[in-house]
């Protein structure tokens, strides 16, 4: 079944239990506080290596990234926590599914949630906003980003399910 293709086979709880030493060393981190990011998209669980973006109220680079083959990666978008516009919508959700991204994490807002619910990807975001963002091409890609109490570097592994979001230096 398609859902299994992109879902992690191991729960975040089991990963935390199995890797206490990595948690203590900071090689495995849990985005916090719990409830910071809300779940959207069809897949509640998703995992993959991260691709990162740092943007502010401009989603040009989000589209540019999602136009590339996702190859099971998770796009991590540090939107600076802005709740004044949406960095992701239904069209970009469909693009992400088509190009085989496994998920998108937005430290910012999204819109078209009913359309995104139909997309076979996992999404986490602060919340929703009906207004679109700027499209001026501003931002940085493939940089370390910081939100949810941790730094997330490109290529680190993300594991997300109903219990939380993990970031790991190595594949678990």
Ligand X SMILES: O=C([O-])CC(=O)C(=O)O
Interacting span for ligand X (CB under 6 A) from 8-16, 83-91, 117-125, 156-164: 83-91
Nearer to ligand X, 8 or 122 (CB): 122
Interacting span for ligand X (CB under 6 A) from 30-38, 90-98, 139-147, 161-169: 90-98
- For the annotated binding site, the residues are 89-92, 111-112
* 90 is a contact residue toward ligand X (CB under 6 A): yes
Cα 126 to chain centroid distance, Å, stands at 11
User: Are the C-beta atoms of residues 156 and 50 closer than 8 Å to each other?
Assistant: yes
Cα 90 to chain centroid distance, Å, stands at 15
Please state the closest distance from residue 148 (CB atom) to ligand X, in A: 22
Residue 13: closest CA among 5, 26, 23: 23
Choice from 32, 68, 83, 91 touching ligand X (CB under 6 A): 91
d(CA 9, CA 44): 12
Q: Which helix (H) or strand (E) holds 126?
A: strand 122-128
- Per CB under 6 A, contacts with ligand X among 121-140 are 132-133
Residue 41: closest CA among 112, 108, 109: 112
Nearer to ligand X, 69 or 130 (CB): 130
* 84 is a contact residue toward ligand X (CB under 6 A): no
d(CA 56, CA 131): 14
Please state the closest distance from residue 160 (CB atom) to ligand X, in A: 21
* 89 is a contact residue toward ligand X (CB under 6 A): yes
Q: Which residues bind ligand X (CB under 6 A)?
A: 59, 89-92, 111-112, 132-133
């Amino acid at each position: 079944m398609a859902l299994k293709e992109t879902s992690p086979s191991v729960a975040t709880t089991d990963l935390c239990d199995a890797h206490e030493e990595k948690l203590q060393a900071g090689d495995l981190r849990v985005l916090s506080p719990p409830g910071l990011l809300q779940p959207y998209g069809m897949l509640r669980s998703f995992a993959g290596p991260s691709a990162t973006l740092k943007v502010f109220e401009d989603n040009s680079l989000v589209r540019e990234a999602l136009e590339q083959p996702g190859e099971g990666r998770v796009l991590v978008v540090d939107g600076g926590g802005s709740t004044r516009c949406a960095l992701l919508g239904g069209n970009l959700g469909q693009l992400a599914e088509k190009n085989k991204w496994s998920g998108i994490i937005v430290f910012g807002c999204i819109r078209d949630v009913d359309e995104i619910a139909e997309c076979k990807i996992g999404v986490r975001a602060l919340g929703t906003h009906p207004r679109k963002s700027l499209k001026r091409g501003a931002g940085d890609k493939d940089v370390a980003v910081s939100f949810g109490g941790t730094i997330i570097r490109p290529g680190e592994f993300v594991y997300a399910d109903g219990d939380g979001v993990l970031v790991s230096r190595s594949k678990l």
